[in-house]
Each structure stands twice: as structure tokens, then as C-alpha cells.
Amino acid sequence: MASITPFTQFSIRYKAPHLLQVLDQRLLPDEEVWLDVNAPEDMVLYIKQLSVRGAPLIGVAAAYSLADWVIQAENAGEKLTPEQVKKVAQMLRDARPTAVNLMFAIDKMIQIGSAEPDFSGARLSVIASELMNREVEMCASMSKFGAALIKDGDGILTHCNTGALAVPGMGTALGVIREAWKQGKKIHVYVDETRPLLQGGRLTTYELKREGIPYTLICDNMAAVLMKQGKIQRVLVGADRIALNGDFANKIGTYSVAILSKYHNVPFHGVAPLSTVDFNCESGQDIPIEQRSPFEVLGASGSFGKIRWAPEDSHTFNPAFDVTPVDLVESLILDTGIYETEKLKTGCLRGLKKG
């Protein structure tokens, strides 16, 4: 019988004999609760409600969910048709519209372009493992590239959460920070709280505290003052989808930070694996932006419960992401190297191939 080799990452794990689990990120930093994934429908729910988040992690989690479902069906004596597997794969693929890593991972799982795709549990578990291991490798590579830009004594601003909670591996933008700290550079991280869901305030601070990296939590509207005071030497953010011209989508508020950085001459970098580049997307105008629940703006929820501070019938605007144009970017830091603005404008991303 096919099986998935047990593994443990920071926010996803597989326990023998057949138990896929994800860390419920909604409850952090105070509660560490692991959720069982008993069916692909569970994973779709966890992705939609942000128990699982971060573009690379979403892709890997969905891939393992599909492989586990097929294996359990096989072990129960059920013979799944290719159409059944593709239908469930499409359901997972549609869980969130902006993070292209999800689409990339599911397309790998159903072996788009293959004349004879193999939908057996054994084959799907191998592909899922390859996807995860590749993400870990890419995190390590981009972290080293990015850390070379960090100087001893730098103050670094980051937005949202881009660490081991968001990826299999050490992180994207936060991976660069981790690597710089590991190299002995004395740095200080300024953490945007990242409204409306406070991924910076809840998750990035959680990771930095565990690592012992000095940090200061700020409200999103305080970044400009710190830049004016000369306390921020560099900005590092993640990405959920990168267009071929270098525009990229990231958590809402990233575009504002990029504008502030440009005005104050602070280098602004997007950090992401190659799996985040959408080779079918010409520019940021082609990136679909997810619209989320009005309640996320009307109030807040978490381990503390649920609270509403605005009138219940207030009109809201709640895009999950915004798009930063390449003109505001100092460089994109990928696992394949560092690509500066002028190089990005020549279309250099077209020549890269996803692993």
C-alpha cells in the first residue's frame, strides 16, 4: 500500500499512519493548535479561513491533501477515475485566487502536459514531497542571496508574515532576515502589524521572538515616520504572484510601503521563490485580487474571541492584496538570484524556468 513518509515542518506535518495536520495560524501567538485534515474539503476550508496561509505553504498543503485523499481511497479499495482526481484537484486549486503557488502545485500534481499522467497515490505522494523539498531549497537559496544585501546595524521593515509559518522552509523575506542574523549581523526588525488580519503583529512577532531577533512592532501608519528618522535602511516583503514585467501582488498595504520607500530612498525588495512567478501573467493588471469578508474591516477575531467596532451595516472595501509596480522595486530576490528594476523591465523573468 502507498503511504506518505512522515515529516514535520514549522506549520505542516504528516504523522503515521495517515494523518495530515496544519497549524491553525488564526490562534497564534498564544495558542498552538494542530488541525487534522481528513479530506480535501477540510483543506479548502482551512485555506479559505486562513488557518493555512502563505503562498508557498498553501500550494504544498493542497498537494499533500490531494495525495493523502487518493492514498486513503486506494487503501479502502476504492478505484478513483482520473476525472474524480481532477475534480478534487480543481476544488483545491480554486481555494484562493491570487496565490499562484497554489495553481502551480496543483498543476504539477495532475501532471499538466504529460501524455500519460499517473494519478496513483504512490506517484502523487512523490510529487508532493518533491514540491515541498524544492520549496525548502528555494527558501535557503533566496535567503542567502538576500542576506548579502544586509549590512551590520541595518534597520529592516517587513510587512505581513513571510517566515516559516508561510512556507515549508525558513521563509522568504523573513528567511533573509534569519540568514542575516545567523551570519552575526546586528539588525533590528520593524514589524508592520498588517491590518486587517494582523499577520505581522500576530505571526511575524511570534517567529522573531522564537528566534531571538530584536524587533519592534508598529502600526502600519508609523512606517513613514521611522523612514524619515533614518531608522529603516531596507524593506523586505514577500509576494503572492509575480508578473513577467516585475510587478507583484502581496498583502494589502505593500503598495503603500513601496511608495513610502521610494520617497525616502529606502531600498524596497520583494522576496519569493520561482514558483511565485506566473509565466502566463504579463503585468500586475492581469493579477486577480481576492476580496474578503467585510467583517475583517468591521472588527477583529482571534484567540481572544470576536469584536466589532464599526456599525454593522457599514460599507467596506477589503482586498486581500495589492499590486506593487516594478518602478517602485529596487530588486526582486528569487532563489535564482537578485533581479534589479532595469533588468526586470527587459523581461529577464521570461528566461527563467520553474523547477
With CA atoms as reference, report the closest residue to 276 among 23, 58, 64.
58
Q: What whole-number distance in Å separates Cα of residue 41 and Cα of residue 201?
A: 29
**Phi and psi at residue 249, in whole multiples of 5°?**
-95, 140
With CA atoms as reference, report the closest residue to 294 among 276, 308, 274.
308
With CA atoms as reference, report the closest residue to 269 among 138, 187, 116, 157.
157
DSSP 55: H
**Phi and psi at residue 345, in whole multiples of 5°?**
-70, -20
Check 24, 192, 220, 240 and give the catalytic one: 240
- Prior bond to 294 cis, omega within 30? no
SS3 114: coil
CA distances from 160 to 50, 197, 318 (A): 13, 9, 15
Active site residue 94: no
Output the DSSP codes for 133-181. HHHHHHHHHHHHHHHTTPPTT-EEEE-S--STTTSSSS-SHHHHHHHHH
Give the residue numbers annotated as catalytic, written as ranges: 240
